[in-house]
């Protein structure tokens, strides 16, 4: 399965119940059966991972982020990967080793460097998440009248069918 964004955001519910929020110009892909809980990411996404016995892996061109259940943001560019942990603990695996990243920390691995640098989180991901929330809220308001109309149509159709059966 694959989901790609351009100038839009996208929310994806994974088969295990985990949620992925894709930022603009990003993509994820994963196996339909999702037995191994592996997601390939290009771009930026915020993950809310449900706990399970098996680990959850976000695979990128620069390394893998491995977790059991947590909330975190992963952003890849042409030269780096940045992982920002909102809740829990994750592990970033690169060609140069593994780094554990805890809540409130932002870790960055740049192409060509031999270490992962860790900083206090600037929670930069919250900006695009807020924009996504506003967009979803607006979409909900726009859909409300349409859903009511559809519901009314179904109710009328149901009454008509009920009348036909009485005849």
User: Which long-range contacts (C-beta less than 8 Å, at least 24 apart) are formed by 107-116?
Assistant: 107/82, 107/83, 108/80, 108/81, 108/82, 108/83, 109/62, 109/63, 109/80, 109/81, 109/82, 110/79, 110/80, 111/62, 111/79, 111/80, 116/92
pLDDT tens, residue by residue, 106-119: 999 998 888 899 99
pTM metric for this prediction: 0.74
**What share of the chain has pLDDT > 90, as a percent?**
62
Distance CA 22, CA 113 (A): 27
pLDDT tens, residue by residue, 123-146: 888 899 888 888 878 777 666 665
User: Which pLDDT belongs to residue 106?
Assistant: 95
Q: How confident is the model at residue 147 (pLDDT cuts 50, 70, 90)?
A: low
Is the distance from CB of 83 to CB of 74 less than 8 angstroms?
yes
pLDDT tens, residue by residue, 66-84: 997 789 999 999 999 999 9
């Amino acid at each position: 399965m694959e989901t790609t964004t351009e100038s839009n955001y996208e929310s994806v519910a994974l088969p295990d119940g985990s949620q992925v929020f894709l930022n603009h110009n990003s993509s994820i892909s994963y196996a339909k059966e999702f037995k191994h809980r592996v997601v390939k990411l290009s771009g930026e996404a915020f993950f809310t991972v449900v706990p399970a016995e098996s680990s959850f892996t976000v695979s990128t061109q620069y390394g893998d982020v491995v977790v059991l259940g947590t909330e975190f943001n992963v952003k890849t560019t042409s030269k780096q990967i940045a992982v920002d942990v909102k809740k829990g603990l994750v592990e970033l695996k690169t060609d140069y080793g593994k780094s554990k990243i805890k809540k409130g920390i932002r870790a960055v691995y740049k192409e060509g460097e031999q270490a992962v640098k860790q900083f206090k989180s600037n929670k930069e991901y919250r900006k695009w998440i807020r924009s996504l929330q506003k967009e979803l809220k607006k979409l909900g308001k726009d859909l409300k009248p349409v859903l009511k109309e559809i519901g009314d149509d179904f109710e009328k159709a149901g009454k008509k069918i009920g009348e036909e059966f009485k005849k």
